[in-house]
Amino acid sequence: MRIILIIIGVLGVVLGLALYGPGSIAAMRLDIVPEQAALTARMDAVTEPLRTERTDLHGAEDVEPGPDGNLYTSLADGRIMMRTPDGQWLDVANTGGRPLGLAFGPDGDLFVADALRGLLRWDGQGWEVWLADRSAGGPLVFTDDLTVLDDGRIILTDASLRHAYGDHIMSFLEADQTGRILSVSAPGEYSVLAEGLAFINGVDHDPATGIVYVNETWTGRIWSLNPDTGVMDVLVEGLPGYPDNLEFDAETGLIWSALPSLRSADLDALHGKPLVKRLVWRLLQINGLPELPDRPPLVVAVTPEGEVRHIVQGPVSPADGVTGVTVWNDELWMSGLDRDGFTIFATPD
C-alpha cells in the first residue's frame, strides 16, 4: 500500500509540474460559438484577384483611404506610405516603430496605432505621442487599431495586457482575454470603455450613426459599441475565420472584416478545456505547433444588422493571410501583417 501511495504522490507531482510548473501555459477558459454552418456552405467559392501590386512593400497591416482621395498604408519597416489614384507611391513618414492601424481625424490629422510606441499623431513634421507604450512608461501593451469619431474622440484597441506585439500565437493558445477598448480625448487623457476581451482588434465607425464596430479575434466575433455608454452588443459570431482589421464603407453601409486564417475546430475546442490545453501545450513544446489552418485571402462584408452579405475568398497560396481590407476606387484592397504587397479584388455586386 505504501508503494502505491508513493507512486500516486509522484504522479501527482509530475502532473502538477506539467500543468503549472516552469514553462507551463496560462490557459484560460473561453467558450465560443462554432463556425456557422450557413457560412461554411458558402466557403467553396474561390475568387481570382484582379492583380497584385507592390510586392516589394512588406507588412502592410492597414490600408486606409484618406480624406485627400489617396490610399494610405502602414509597413513593417515603420513607414507610412501613400498611393495616389494614378498609381504613384510616396513616402509620408516613418514612426520609428511598428505602425498598425491608421485613421484620420475630422480635421485631417493622421493618427497611428503603433505596436511599439503607442498612439501617435502626425503633425506634418514629427510624431506627437498621445499615449505611450508601457515600455516607455505609458499604459498601452499591444496598441492595435483605432478610429476617430466626428467629435475628435479616438476609439483605440489595446489587444492584450499580457502579450505585446509579436506574441499573438501565445495569446491565442492561452485564450488570453485581457484586451480592452479605450476612449482617448486628448494626449494622456483616456477612459476604458470595455475590457476582458479575447484579443480585441480592428475597429471603425459609421459616421452617420456614430456606432463603433470592433473585431474580437479569438472568438470569431464582431461587436457593435456605443462609444457614449460603452454598451456592446454582438453583431455577428461564428465567422469562418479569425477577424483582424475592420473597415466601414460609408458608401454601401457594409462592415468589411479581414480574416487572416480559417478557423481551427480542434484548437477552438481546447479553449473550453484549459486543463487539457495545459497538457497539450507540453506536447507542443516537444513536437512543435500543429499544422495551422489554410490562410487564403479572405474577407467578409457584414451589414449593420449582422447579416454576412459577402464572402470573398482568394486561392490558397504559401503567402501569409490578409489582415487588412478596404474598399477604394470600387476595388477591394487586401494586405497583411506579414505579407508582401497588395492583392486587389473586384468589389462584389
List the domain boundaries for the chain: 42-260+295-346
181-195 pLDDT, tens per residue?
999 999 999 999 999
In this prediction the pTM is: 0.92
Alpha-carbon distance of 38 to 42, in angstroms, equals 7
The whole-number pLDDT of residue 17 equals 39
Closest CA to 270 of 40, 35, 37, 32: 32
For residue 6, the Cα-to-chain-centroid distance in whole angstroms is: 49
Alpha-carbon distance of 323 to 338, in angstroms, equals 9
Is residue 13 pLDDT above 60, yes or no? no
Name the class of domain 42-260+295-346: mainly beta
Amino acid at 201: N
Percent of the chain residues past pLDDT 70, beyond the cut = 93
The whole-number pLDDT of residue 349 equals 83
Amino acid at 128: E
φ, ψ of residue 87 to 5 degrees: the values are 100, 5
The whole-number pLDDT of residue 325 equals 97
Is residue 167 pLDDT above 80, yes or no? yes
Is residue 16 pLDDT above 50, yes or no? no
Grid coordinates 453601409 are at which residue? 253
Averaged pLDDT for residues 126-152 = 95
Is residue 18 pLDDT above 50, yes or no? no
Angle among Cα 315, 321, 326 to the nearest 5 degrees reads 90
The whole-number pLDDT of residue 334 equals 97
Residue scoring higher pLDDT (1 or 236): 236
Residue scoring higher pLDDT (318 or 214): 214
The whole-number pLDDT of residue 169 equals 81
Is residue 21 pLDDT above 70, yes or no? no
| Length in residues, the chain | 349
Averaged pLDDT for residues 255-284 = 87
83-131 pLDDT, tens per residue?
999 999 999 999 999 999 999 999 899 999 999 999 999 988 889 999 9
